[in-house]
Amino acid sequence: MLPLAGYTVVDFSQFLSGPLASLRLADLGARVIKIEKPGTGDICRQLYTSNTVLNGSSTVFHAINRNKESIVLDLKDEADAQVVWDLLAGADVVLHNFRPGVMERLGFDYASVREINPTVIYGEISGYGKEGPWVERPGQDLLLQSLTGMTWLSGDAAQGPVAMGLSIVDMFAGSNLCSAILACLYRRALQQVGAHVHVSMLDSAVDIQFEAVTTYFRDGQLLPQRSTISNAHAYLAAPYGVYRTQDGFLALAMGSIPVLGKLLGCAALETFADGEQAFRERDSIKTILGAHLLTEPTAHWLEILEAADIWCADVLDWRSLTAHDAFKVLDMLQEVSMGDGFGYETTRCPIRIDGERLVSAKGSPKLGEHNKKIMEELYG
């Protein structure tokens, strides 16, 4: 039995953050019903990446919304609103990511839902919290990265702000909401009490940076300084970074500089000490190291370093990764199939329970695909 077997999630959310939380709940065994607006549905259906269209929707939509059902309902229409209420009455979890105030105006806010369903777990994601000067701002990933100082952590010192090239604030916010929902479902299973759960993208963006934030306040409020070359973390000493070799790249994590000097045959490195100096003089160290690593291919360096238990790795792209046995053994990709028989490949849930990978063959729903089925279940 999957942990959430028999549970129903009614999901009003769009884009990435909320739908990511419900994807996880679906993979853990819940039935997820997406409530979508007539015409366009979840706006993410049209959020194309590299202009790729797959069976009428964006690849991103297919990745986020597999293993779910879709019902089209107009939240402002009286008859449709009644259907929403009938769904909410039987829901174990409800979630949305509208801006603060929207659900209150529509009448589906927590206080109202709790009246008809006292043990519901009601989850919401906001951009910037439920009050304050930013509530009306769009809760969008790049804007949150930029606002919270995150863009000064990646890339080299001279490159200006560098965004992290994925919607990671969305993903952490969605993941955090999922955790909070699970914790409250656990409490409900023991105590039969519902819960109101909220996570903001703003808090989640700060939380991802908790190491850097704590350092900033303890260390005299100095801004993070990226190294001039091979930066991989503004707060870590040399050699931490990625270096060019004769035929590719090499990643080096934490390690002793003089030891590296000896192993790599680079005498200039042996004069540096670890700790304080490896941090303060990391630009010089990285420059020397970078020039030296250029003289031989990646495999040559890996052979020497791995034998000495140094934390190092090759740098792969997706082609070399997906061809590698270490990737294949994970069985991380799965083939899913939509209601109309269209099949596509995507990733599976990254969590294993009792030795089993959590997979599901159900693809994403067409807009309104399950209206008929759900109406029949509700009204016969």
Nearest-approach distance from CB 375 to another protein, in angstroms: 29
Q: Is the dihedral of CA 372, 374, 378, 380 positive or negative?
A: positive
226-265: which residues touch another protein (CB under 8 A)? 226, 231-237, 240-242, 244, 249, 251-254
CA distance 329 to 166: 25
Q: Could you say which of 179, 256, 287, 360 contacts another protein (CB under 8 A)? A: 179
Closer to another protein by CB, 256 or 371: give it. Answer: 256
Q: Which is nearer to another protein, 89 or 321 (CB)?
A: 321
| Closest approach of another protein to the CB of residue 246, in Å | 14
Interface residue with another protein, options 107, 347, 372, 373 (CB under 8 A): 347
- Gyration radius of the chain over CA positions: 25
User: 282 with 237: CB under 8 angstroms?
Assistant: yes
CA–CA distance, 322 with 271 (Å, rounded to integer) = 41
Count of residues binding another protein (CB under 8 A)? Answer: 146
Site string for another protein, 21-60 (x = CB under 8 A): ---x---x------------------xxxxxx-x----xx
CA distance 205 to 139: 11
Q: Between residue 104 and residue 143, which ones bind another protein under the rule CB under 8 A?
A: 128-129, 131-134, 137-138, 140-143
Q: Which of 78, 115, 341, 355 binds another protein (CB under 8 A)?
A: 355
Residue 3 contacts another protein per CB under 8 A: yes
| 3-class SS letters over 207-273 | HHCHHHHHHHHHCCCCCCCCCCCCCCCCCCCCCCEEEECCCCEEEECCCCHHHHHHHHCCHHHHHCC
Interface map 153-172 toward another protein (x if CB under 8 A): xxx---xxxxxxxxxx--xx
Going from the C-alpha of 374 to that of each of 11, 80, 81, 103, 294, the distances in angstroms are 14, 13, 14, 23, 62
Question: In terms of CB distance, is 175 or 371 closer to another protein?
Answer: 175
Consecutive H or E run containing 61: helix 59-65
Choice between 79 and 307, CB closer to another protein = 307
